[in-house]
Amino acid sequence: DGGITQSPKYLFRKEGQNVTLSCEQNLNHDAMYWYRQDPGQGLRLIYYSQIVNDFQKGDIAEGYSVSREKKESFPLTVTSAQKNPTAFYLCASSIWTGRANQPQHFGDGTRLSIL
Amino acid sequence: QKEVEQNSGPLSVPEGAIASLNCTYSDRGSQSFFWYRQYSGKSPELIMFIYSNGDKEDGRFTAQLNKASQYVSLLIRDSQPSDSATYLCAVMLAAGGYQKVTFGIGTKLQVIP
């Protein structure tokens, strides 16, 4: 089945530690996105990538880093600089046509908590 | 003013009734509009999208778009308890060579048996 796989489902971070969230898709989508969701707030964009080896900061990129070495993969690292990392992290992907008409599809998410 | 506004609810409707969920947006250049359903603890699932003014129907769901009023809505007919979820409105435009998507905070819908 085609889809977006996020792992792990739950992740715990110790203070001062970097952690990496995995996102893999087999939909052959060009664009991939990372969002953060906090209670009572909408999804906020962390990073996005439209092609391999290129990515752009979203609205809340501080304390996060990404890479896009393969079309299928877009891992997110939550660094120790992110002081409030507890949230639900969602990876999404979409076809990129150059026009605003392709919906984003989401993985199942990773819940990150502080130990 | 928030870019995409939704009433957080909860919106309570009896089983079998029509649920009406509303969303307004601030950027007149917005081009595409999406509705996602998100069950508690789960990820958003796309249920409807609309690009042109008017109505678009898919089963029990109807999306309505009025670009002049910068308003998009989702109607759910014959509401079922399984429709109880948070409904996210997402607005998309192409800007600076990428698709900018802004999500509302979502409206929580409760369908009462």
Which member of B42, B49, B99 has the closest CB to residue A31?
B99
pLDDT tens figures, A73-110: 999 999 998 889 999 999 999 988 777 678 999 999 99
Q: What is the pLDDT of residue A115?
A: 82
Q: Tell which of A4, A56, A101 to mutate to test the B interface (max B CBs under 10 Å).
A: A101
Separation CA B56–CA B62 (nearest Å): 5
Average pLDDT for B85-112:
90
At B80 the three-state DSSP class reads coil
Q: Give the closest-approach CA distance of A17 to chain B in angstroms.
A: 25
Between the ranges A5-19, A89-103, B94-108, where is the mean pLDDT highest?
A5-19
CB B57 within 8 A of CB B49: no
Average pLDDT for B80-109:
91
Q: What is the pLDDT of residue A29?
A: 93
State percent of chain A over pLDDT 90.
Answer: 76
Which member of A31, A35, A101 has the closest CB to residue B31?
A101
The tokens describing A4, both together, are: 């977006």
- Please compute, for residue A4, the number of CA atoms within 13 A of its CA located in the half-sphere on the CB side: 29
pLDDT tens figures, B32-70: 999 999 999 999 999 999 999 999 999 999 999 999 999
Q: What is the pLDDT of residue A23?
A: 98
Q: Does B44 touch chain A (CB under 8 A)?
A: yes
Separation CA B41–CA A111 (nearest Å): 9
Separation CA B25–CA B22 (nearest Å): 10
Q: Tell which of A99, A108, A113 to mutate to test the B interface (max B CBs under 10 Å).
A: A99
Which secondary structure element, helix H or strand E, spans residue A45, and what is its range? Answer: strand A44-51
